[in-house]
Chain A
Amino acid sequence: MMATAVDLAVKNLKTIFRDRVYLFFLIGMPIFMMLLIGLAFRGGTATYNVGYVNYDGGPSSRYFINILDNASALPLPPNAPLKDVLTMIQFNNTDSLENAFRQGNIVAGLIMDEGYSPATANETVTLFVDESTISASIAVKSTVATISSILAGDPLPKEYWKQLDKPISVEFNTLNFMVVGTLTYAVSIIVFSATASIARERDKGLFSRLRTTPMSIKDFFAGGLMSQLVISLVQTISVFAVSYLIGFRPMGVTGMDKAVNMMAAFVVAMILSVACVGLGLAIAAFAKNEDQAVGISWFVIIPMMFLSGTWFEPQDPTMKTISWAFPTTYANKAIRAILVRGTPLLDTSNYLVSLAVYAVIIFIVGVAIFRKKTM
């Protein structure tokens, strides 16, 4: 059986790799996206413009603004997650501040009333933030809140000051987040690839022709799965290679840690591929022809991208619940844990096992539907 499946996989790969348009779509497109994302986010930690009006004008309020503008002036431990992310821009009055906010020149506005002191910050400081820019919203709110607490002399959460046993060598940033998204996007295209290639074989009578030979149906599916896994592997390697060149580094203290984490991410990507091939089979079975199959595949891929945290986390609780229907949700969470936070593969077992079970079930269901509808 194995030899026949390998022959079929080789045939599939030849037909895909010799079609330049198809090849660009499967491999070139993720690389291109990775390049664009890398170039857009390679500056490391982003900075955000925050406007302010200081009606108080006293030394305490000026010091507060100065620290917001230059958080590193505070005597903090080296691993403290407080970074220089805010650029403070002064305005003379509230109207001009609000106008700049509406124009999009600043992502947040801070108004300091007369009588400001660190102890009265709750009553004398007004902050408004552009909630549509999620990363900016989080960064501004957390930075202002943290610095306010420090200046007020409040005890910070214990873990804030705790020295880590294994210092984290790579900090979280948008590039790292987006690399994982691009990776799962690339692997998700397997749904399209599997759907299109299977539907094409069926439409053009190639599947029927093979069925007149002693090839078993298991050989056919095994060959299809093998070839799609190879494509996933090439996609994953390509995305990682480009992201590495741009500046992405997986989490890990030592080189070995990083290599192990990369391998772990590969494992998750391969499991995701199996699930995507299963989805592709099911879609191909339902579709009447290749064109319809391709259309339906995108109808599945796009919600997968938008709801499973590939580019951003869904906020709505209902959408969050729905997102668990997509294999990419488990993959995104597992790969981000591994590559962005340095979580060992086994510690992501809740996501990993769920993804593996999902992959096996959807593949079996996909095969069953295809057999029922096609044979």
Chain B
Amino acid sequence: MKQTQYAIEAVDLTRKFGDLVAVDHINFKVEEGELWGLLGPNGAGKTTIVRMLCCLLAPTEGMAKVGGCDVQKEAGGIRKLIGICPQETTVYERLTGRENVNLIGKMHKMPKAELKKKTDELLEKIGLAERADDQVITYSGGMKRRLDLIMALVHDPPIQFLDEPTLGLDPAVRRAVWDFILELKERKKTLIMTTHYMEEADELCDRVAIIDYGKIIAEDTPTKLKEKAGRGDIIEMEFTGSAEAAIKRLRKLKFVKTADAVGGRLVVVAEAGICRLGEIISTATKAGGTIGTIHPQENTLEDVFLHLTGRRLR
């Protein structure tokens, strides 16, 4: 990888398909060792961005660099630096799991011994060791997806593109893949992950770019995005006492957006409301009354997307 300030950099990156502008003059920078997420609905342009960064699609306008190499001029250099787990499962069904992994390792010219060690290690870690020598055609969808991930990582690339890495996985396997991604993050790999699962972006990404209709409409850490936009955390409380008085007091708090009585409960929407739970409770009780069960519901990136676009992600 070239000595460069950013692992990935895009300037006015654009891709058109006829009249359709799939990616519209986007700008972003990803630092080395960062897990950068692209969150957006299906068809927003996430995969097109990944394909351009992986030199599979030429940009119509603009420039992008991966590992300091220009995507249009130095594709050969980029291919040595990257690994990709594509959105669609792309494995050879008539090869075994191990043969699929070995093939990618061989394409990267990995030494035989190293390839074997790395393949065994990854198959074990991702839970495919027992079925490694079976043809992939006998695998379940989740197993194929995990194999896809191993194929992206076997050559230990410094920059990895994970295009919807947990699409179609059951919750347990998704959790295992998350742990694996977090481990890569600890090892200071640069990761670019696309997802339309808000909780995935929230849990894993250092920074998230929210994309809609080919444009990045917001970019920051998940926490800051939620602070800046979205309706805020929702605190639902059982309350005995004068709800009207409590609501009056709560509405005076600057961070409280709304406070209402719904079915004998107080429902408070507040910026970083969970962090400020103590202040909310004390304000309500000062009006006279006691608090029963509390149901705090954190603000999500879904809310952020809704706030920014007026639409839900899914």
Interface residues of A (CB under 8 A from B): 3-4, 7, 11, 14-16, 18-19, 204-206, 208-215
A3-B106, A15-B95 are known contacts; what are 17 more A-B pairs with Cβ within 8 Å? Answer: A4-B109, A7-B107, A11-B95, A11-B99, A14-B94, A14-B99, A15-B94, A16-B94, A19-B94, A204-B88, A205-B88, A206-B92, A208-B56, A208-B86, A212-B82, A214-B109, A215-B107
- Tell me, in angstroms, the Cα distance from A7 to B92 when the chains sit together: 14
Partner of A214 from the list B51, B79, B91 (CB cut-off 8 Å) is B79
Residues of B close to A7: CB separation below 8 A: 103, 106-107
Q: Do residues A208 and B107 form an inter-chain contact, with CB atoms below 8 A?
A: no
B208 at interface, CB cutoff 8 A: no
Q: Do residues B108 and A213 form an inter-chain contact, with CB atoms below 8 A?
A: yes
- Tell me, in angstroms, the Cα distance from A205 to B135 when the chains sit together: 19
- Tell me, in angstroms, the Cα distance from A209 to B144 when the chains sit together: 15
Closest A residue to B58 by beta carbon equals: A375
- Tell me, in angstroms, the Cα distance from A209 to B104 when the chains sit together: 9
Q: Do residues A212 and B54 form an inter-chain contact, with CB atoms below 8 A?
A: yes
B90 at interface, CB cutoff 8 A: yes
Q: Do residues B108 and A206 form an inter-chain contact, with CB atoms below 8 A?
A: no
- Tell me, in angstroms, the Cα distance from A16 to B94 when the chains sit together: 8
- Tell me, in angstroms, the Cα distance from A214 to B94 when the chains sit together: 23
Residues of B close to A11: CB separation below 8 A: 92, 95, 99, 103
Closest B residue to A375 by beta carbon equals: B56
B84 at interface, CB cutoff 8 A: yes
Q: Do residues A213 and B104 form an inter-chain contact, with CB atoms below 8 A?
A: yes
Interface residues of B (CB under 8 A from A): 51, 54-56, 76, 79-80, 82-84, 86, 88, 90-95, 99, 103-104, 106-109, 135, 151
Contact status of A204 and B90, CB under 8 A, knowing A213-B104, A213-B108, A214-B109: yes
- Tell me, in angstroms, the Cα distance from A19 to B94 when the chains sit together: 7
Residues of B close to A3: CB separation below 8 A: 106
B106 to chain A, nearest CB (A): 5
Contact status of A206 and B107, CB under 8 A, knowing A213-B79, A214-B79, A214-B80: no
Partner of A208 from the list B90, B94, B103, B106 (CB cut-off 8 Å) is B90
Contact status of A209 and B90, CB under 8 A, knowing A11-B95, A214-B79: yes
Partner of B56 from the list A4, A18, A19, A212 (CB cut-off 8 Å) is A212
B21 to chain A, nearest CB (A): 22
Residues of B close to A19: CB separation below 8 A: 94
B79 to chain A, nearest CB (A): 5
Residues of B close to A210: CB separation below 8 A: 107
A281 to chain B, nearest CB (A): 19
- Specify which of B88, B92, B109 lies most central, judged by the most chain A CB atoms within 10 Å of its CB: B92
5 interchain pairs, CB-CB under 8 A: A7-B103, A11-B95, A15-B93, A204-B88, A214-B107
Partner of A212 from the list B84, B88, B94, B109 (CB cut-off 8 Å) is B84
Residues of A close to B54: CB separation below 8 A: 212
Residues of A close to B104: CB separation below 8 A: 209, 213
- Tell me, in angstroms, the Cα distance from A218 to B112 when the chains sit together: 23
- Tell me, in angstroms, the Cα distance from A159 to B91 when the chains sit together: 65
- Tell me, in angstroms, the Cα distance from A212 to B55 when the chains sit together: 7
Residues of B close to A212: CB separation below 8 A: 54-56, 79, 82-84
Residues of A close to B88: CB separation below 8 A: 204-205
Closest B residue to A213 by beta carbon equals: B107
- Tell me, in angstroms, the Cα distance from A41 to B205 when the chains sit together: 72
- Specify which of B90, B93, B99 lies most central, judged by the most chain A CB atoms within 10 Å of its CB: B90
- Tell me, in angstroms, the Cα distance from A213 to B82 when the chains sit together: 8
- Tell me, in angstroms, the Cα distance from A211 to B56 when the chains sit together: 7
Residues of A close to B99: CB separation below 8 A: 11, 14
- Tell me, in angstroms, the Cα distance from A15 to B100 when the chains sit together: 11
A98 to chain B, nearest CB (A): 61
Contact status of A205 and B106, CB under 8 A, knowing A15-B95, A212-B55: no
Q: Do residues B76 and A209 form an inter-chain contact, with CB atoms below 8 A?
A: no
Q: Do residues A206 and B90 form an inter-chain contact, with CB atoms below 8 A?
A: yes
Contact status of A214 and B56, CB under 8 A, knowing A205-B88, A209-B90: no
- Tell me, in angstroms, the Cα distance from A215 to B55 when the chains sit together: 13
Residues of B close to A15: CB separation below 8 A: 92-95
- Tell me, in angstroms, the Cα distance from A206 to B84 when the chains sit together: 12
Q: Do residues B94 and A209 form an inter-chain contact, with CB atoms below 8 A?
A: no
Residues of B close to A205: CB separation below 8 A: 86, 88, 90
* 7 tightest A-B CB contacts, nearest first: A213-B107, A15-B94, A205-B90, A18-B94, A209-B90, A215-B107, A7-B106
B157 to chain A, nearest CB (A): 10
Partner of A4 from the list B76, B107, B135 (CB cut-off 8 Å) is B107
- Tell me, in angstroms, the Cα distance from A99 to B88 when the chains sit together: 68
- Tell me, in angstroms, the Cα distance from A210 to B103 when the chains sit together: 9
A218 to chain B, nearest CB (A): 13
A48 to chain B, nearest CB (A): 50
A371 to chain B, nearest CB (A): 13
- Tell me, in angstroms, the Cα distance from A270 to B280 when the chains sit together: 82
Partner of B135 from the list A18, A211, A214, A215 (CB cut-off 8 Å) is A18
- Tell me, in angstroms, the Cα distance from A206 to B91 when the chains sit together: 7
- Tell me, in angstroms, the Cα distance from A7 to B151 when the chains sit together: 16
- Tell me, in angstroms, the Cα distance from A213 to B91 when the chains sit together: 14
Residues of A close to B107: CB separation below 8 A: 4, 7, 210, 213-215
Closest B residue to A206 by beta carbon equals: B90
Residues of A close to B84: CB separation below 8 A: 209, 212
- Tell me, in angstroms, the Cα distance from A15 to B88 when the chains sit together: 20
Residues of B close to A14: CB separation below 8 A: 94-95, 99
Closest B residue to A214 by beta carbon equals: B79
- Tell me, in angstroms, the Cα distance from A14 to B100 when the chains sit together: 11
Closest A residue to B109 by beta carbon equals: A214
Residues of B close to A204: CB separation below 8 A: 88, 90
A216 to chain B, nearest CB (A): 8
Closest A residue to B92 by beta carbon equals: A15
Closest A residue to B86 by beta carbon equals: A205
- Specify which of A16, A212, A215 lies most central, judged by the most chain B CB atoms within 10 Å of its CB: A212
Closest B residue to A14 by beta carbon equals: B95
- Tell me, in angstroms, the Cα distance from A206 to B51 when the chains sit together: 14
Q: Do residues B86 and A214 form an inter-chain contact, with CB atoms below 8 A?
A: no
B246 to chain A, nearest CB (A): 57
Closest B residue to A208 by beta carbon equals: B56
- Tell me, in angstroms, the Cα distance from A204 to B104 when the chains sit together: 16
Closest A residue to B107 by beta carbon equals: A213
